């Protein structure tokens, strides 16, 4: 019985040491409405252009979903009209399709930043 209790305590201490050794998850960063709309437009455009068949395409789709919801939540919090917020995203997506299709390096870099900032959904 004493051996079982000692083993349990040892396992608990080792588990706590392992948990402390892992770096903490980064704190979520608040973004502005404009940034959320910009990221929603970029990720939606990239998802459309890539398609959903590849792993990268699915990651883009997930990021687009995240940023679209984040933009709508930011719009609601700011008291913006939901229809106007949807229109902002549509304009951002259309502009992003043009920029990404043209090979705009700045748009590609911004897209990667948006992808990295979005949590993994799947």
Interval 40-86: pLDDT, tens = 999 999 999 999 789 999 999 999 999 999 999 999 999 999 999 99
* pLDDT at residue 44 in the model: 97
Name which residue leads in pLDDT, 88 or 30: 88
**Cα separation, 84 vs 78, whole angstroms:** 12
Cα Rg of the chain, angstroms: 21
Q: For tokens 């990221």, what's the residue? A: 39
Nearest to 36 by CA among 85, 1, 3: 85
In contact, 50 and 111? CB cutoff 8 Å: no
Its pTM stands at 0.75
Confidence of residue 4 (pLDDT cuts 50, 70, 90): very low
C-alpha to C-alpha distances, 32 to 14, 77, 94, 96, 114, nearest whole angstrom = 42, 11, 20, 18, 13
């Amino acid at each position: 019985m004493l051996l079982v209790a000692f083993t349990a305590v040892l396992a608990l201490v080792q588990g706590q040491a392992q948990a402390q050794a892992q770096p903490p998850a980064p704190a979520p960063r608040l973004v502005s409405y404009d940034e959320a709309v910009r990221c929603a437009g970029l990720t939606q455009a990239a998802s459309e252009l890539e398609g959903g068949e590849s792993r990268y395409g699915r990651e883009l789709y997930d990021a687009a979903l995240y940023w679209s919801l984040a933009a709508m939540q930011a719009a609601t919090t700011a008291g913006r009209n939901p229809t106007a917020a949807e229109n902002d995203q549509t304009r951002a997506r259309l502009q992003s399709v043009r920029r990404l299709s043209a090979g705009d390096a700045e748009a590609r870099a911004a897209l990667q930043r948006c992808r990295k900032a979005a949590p993994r959904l799947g």
